[in-house]
Amino acid sequence: MKSKKILSLLVAVSVLLTSVLCASTAASAKSDFDFSEEYKSSPFYSKLMTALEETEGKTAMERTLAAALSQEGYNNYATQGIDLEQARADGLLWTGKELRMNSSQTGNTEYTRWAQRYVMNRAESTQYEDIDWCAIFVSWCMYQAGYYDKEQLKQCYYSYYATSADSFDADSWITSFNLNQEKVWYTANAAAELENYYWNTYYNTECDPFELPYKPGGLLFFNWDGDGGSFDHVAIVVSYDKDTHVLTYTNGNSGGQVITRQIDLDVEEEFRGTRFTKNANRIVAYGEYDKIEPFEQRTINCEIDSITWDKEASSGIRFQTDSKSKVFKAAVDGEYLGSNIESNMILQQGKVIIGKSEIKNLPVGDHTLTITFDDGVLNLPFRITNGDEPFTTEPATTEPVTTEPVTTEPTTTEPVTTEPVTTEPATTEPVTTEPVTTEPTTEPETVTPKLNFTKKSLSSGKTAGLTVTDGKAKDWVSTNTNVATVRNGKVTALRKGTATVYALLDNGTYLSCKVSVTTSPKLSKSSITVKKGKTKSVTITGKASTVNNVYTNTKIAKIISKSSASTIKVKGLKKGSTTLKLRVNGFVLKLKVKVN
């Protein structure tokens, strides 16, 4: 169940939608959807209808969970061998063809049929692909719950990827849910993956998997190895016991079936054939949802009126807009160029950045750049030059040449009008042409803005200064403010990871520096013993001077130091054992304290 599968895409696109249709009844949710005849004759169809009827009027999360639980036991028989009669009864055969399955395949399901038939426009008579389907199952359940309709899903798929291809990397599917990020919580193990998704703003990071606000119907994301290397699987929360730390969830494509499972977050085990680790380490994110608020179409404002870009520039283009969208498509003269998900483009809080690789092959001349956001469309005049090639001069010299020869009137008044008229233009044109085509076009090309660093390695708490030579930075941006921040060119390292810092220049271009932070903050001790009423000091390594600490105290012990301290004092309040939490540079540290 790897994320780089089409299954992951379907979950990605399912929540990128810009509007939502909340069905008022189970029947209305199904009015635009045809199930396969085989599925409709199976018990799973009647269970689904009953579940939707019983949860009528409840929240999207409750209805999604009900839809998922109604499918408990649906099995694709990929690993058990194919029982054709049972497969037909379970709705697995919808084309009259035998399923393409063997021991290495996950098999076809009603859920993959739905995805490929109604999202990818596959013909009903075609043989459907063998693909992993955990995320498709979640998307299918959300659809059945009325979270969105078929046309919205389909429109989103094609507008988002602008292609009918159905096989590509889908690493971005976790953020492509486009959930309200204030309602998504990421654990420490998600940090490495979030670096790839820097176009979003994250509010809840480094969260403790034991303390996530699990609710029935919430979406649960796993990394099976527990190392945060990828988002491998998605499931739907059934329940969580805060006392025993037992998490119950339902999911598709788990051993080739829809099944409800439980894990104890405290237990260390080899799970699903992966490495031995604590189950809590396998949780990378949790998200809640209600409905997708529709974007109102409006006029998109931009900080600039036009763009001029030279092919010999070291970078692409950038500009700030007031769009609230998290995704955009770019087109030049009506021809699709790319998007911030699939191309070398970034959208960060309305700031559009398009890399040089995306525009370097465009022809010299005047164009129109169209940026389509979820909340509106922006058109900008886009002029492309190429070093000292004076494309703007040629049209100016061509038109006078075609106009003046067509002066037949001077021929009729040869003695009087011809000589004065032909003499002055003859002397004027060479004078105006030479300065325009030579000096102004060649001089700027000798000055190329540069950053003093294109790569920089820092340990947490350290700083570095970035400066622009032969140019001026209008603004500075860090793509991952959890790892490193930047202000007026001063980079502050916060915790281990990577970030790209952009210097946004006055001329509409940008320069970049990749910042690698090699360490995270840490405490000189992981546990201490202190007497009641007394204090003990602990040193923080790697604290940034510009970021204040946040302390979480208990009734047994508390930190009595200032929030700016790099050495903290812990005071014992009453006998017992406790764990204090410190947020240093935004990174959560834990200190075990025993008070005698």
Residues 6 or more apart whose CB falls under 8 angstroms from that of 50 comprise 70
Domains located in the chain, CATH noted: 6-173 (no CATH), 177-287 (no CATH), 307-385 (2.60.40.10), 393-444 (no CATH), 450-517 (2.60.40.1080), 522-595 (2.60.40.1080)
Q: What is the pLDDT of residues 113-142, one digit of tens each?
A: 777 776 665 555 554 555 667 877 888 898
Rounded CA separation 143/10 (Å): 11
State mean pLDDT over 348-358: 86
The pLDDT tens digits of the residues spanning 452-471 come to 999 999 999 999 999 999 88
Task: Quote the pLDDT of residue 14.
Answer: 38
Strand partners, 318: 353
Report the C-alpha gap between 232 and 254 in whole angstroms.
12
Q: Dihedral of the CA atoms 367, 373, 376, 378 (nearest 10)?
A: -20
Rounded CA-CA distance 398/303 in Å is 34
- pTM: predicted TM-score of the whole model, two decimal places: 0.52
- Could you give the strand order of the β-sheet that contains 587-595, starting from the edge strand earlier in sequence? 527-530, 587-595, 576-584, 550-552
Q: Which of 96, 105, 99 is nearest to 36 (CA)?
A: 96
pLDDT band for position 561 (cuts 50, 70, 90)? very high
Supply the DSSP symbol for 444. G
Amino acid at 160: Y
Length of the chain: 596
- Between vectors from CA 23 to CA 324 and to CA 95, what angle results, nearest 5°? 105
* Residues whose CB is less than 8 angstroms from the CB of residue 408 and which lie 6 or more positions away in sequence, other chains included: none
Lowest-pLDDT choice from 161-165, 236-240, 335-339, 542-546: 161-165
Picking from 581, 540, 589, the residue whose alpha carbon sits closest to that of residue 559 is 581
Q: Tokens for 429?
A: 């044109």
Q: What is the DSSP code (8-state) at residue 273?
A: T
Query: Which H, E and C letters describe 376-404, residue by residue?
Result: EEEEEEEEEEECCECCCHHHHHHHHHHHH
Q: What is the pLDDT of residues 426-437, one digit of tens each?
A: 444 444 444 444
For the record, the structure tokens of 594 come out as 């025993």
51 token code pair: 């579940």
Query: For the chain, what is the radius of gyration of the CA atoms?
Result: 31
Give the per-residue pLDDT at 99. Answer: 43
Closest CA to 481 of 462, 503, 497, 459: 497
Q: How do residues 57-66 score in pLDDT, each as one tens digit?
A: 999 999 999 9
Q: Answer for the pair 286, 217: CB distance below 8 angstroms, yes or no.
A: no
Helix axes 419-437, 393-403, angle to 10 degrees: 170
Q: How far is CA 104 from CA 231, 265, 314, in A?
A: 21, 30, 47
Q: Which residue has the higher pLDDT, 532 or 547?
A: 532
What's the confidence (pLDDT) of residue 319?
92
- What distance in Å separates the CA atoms of residue 282 and residue 474, rounded to the nearest whole number? 42
SS3 86: helix
The dihedrals phi and psi of 85, each to the nearest 5 degrees, come to -65, -45
Task: Name residue 323's amino acid.
Answer: S
**CA–CA distance, 559 with 575 (Å, rounded to integer):** 16
Torsion angle in degrees (nearest 10) through CA of 288, 291, 297, 303: -10
Q: Quote the percentage of the chain above a pLDDT of 70.
A: 67
Which amino acid is residue 208, in one-letter code?
D
Percent of all residues in the chain with a pLDDT value above 90, rounded to a whole number: 36
Contact 449, 485 (CB under 8 A): no
Instruction: Look at residue 539 and tell me whether its pLDDT is greater than 70.
Output: yes
pLDDT band with cut points at 50, 70 and 90 for residue 88: low
pLDDT of residue 586: 76
Q: How many CA atoms lie within 13 A of 47 on its CB side?
A: 16
What Å distances lie between residue 556 and 149, 570, 583, CA to CA? 53, 11, 19
CA dihedral for 116, 120, 122, 128, sign (positive or negative): negative
* More confident position, 120 or 94: 120
**Per-residue pLDDT tens digits for 505-529:** 877 778 889 999 999 899 999 999 9
Q: CA angle, 58 as apex, 249 and 64 as ends, to 5°?
A: 35
> 72: closest CA among 265, 249, 334, 274?
249
Read off the pLDDT band of 391 (50, 70, 90): low
β-strands 510-517, 490-493: how paired? unpaired
Compute the mean pLDDT over every residue in the chain, rounded to the nearest whole number. 75
Better-scored residue on pLDDT, 594 or 182: 594
Maximum Cα–Cα distance across the chain: 117
Query: Would you say 567 and 584 are in contact if contact means Cβ atoms under 8 Å apart?
Result: no
pLDDT digits (tens, 9 = 90+) for 11-35: 333 333 333 333 333 333 444 456 8
Q: Evaluate if residue 485 carries a pLDDT over 80.
A: yes
| Better pLDDT: 357 or 88 | 357
Two structure tokens written together for 303: 């900080």
Distance between CA atoms of 3 and 44, rounded to whole angstroms?
27
Q: For residue 110, name the pLDDT band (cuts at 50, 70, 90).
A: confident
Give the per-residue pLDDT at 63: 96
Q: What is the pLDDT of residues 435-455, one digit of tens each?
A: 444 444 444 455 788 999 999
Q: How much is the average pLDDT of 206-215?
A: 94
Q: Comparing 422 with 56, which gets the higher pLDDT?
A: 56
485-511 average pLDDT score: 86
What digits encode the pLDDT tens for the residues 261-302? Answer: 999 999 888 766 666 788 999 999 999 988 766 778 999 999
Are the C-beta atoms of residues 494 and 587 closer than 8 Å to each other? yes
In the predicted structure, residue 10 carries a pLDDT above the cut 60: no
pLDDT band at 91 (very low <50, low <70, confident <90, very high): low
Whole-number pLDDT of residue 95: 38
Instruction: Say which residue, 217 or 483, is predicted with more confidence.
Output: 217
pLDDT for residue 352 is more than 70: yes
The pLDDT confidence band at residue 213, using thresholds 50, 70 and 90, is: very high
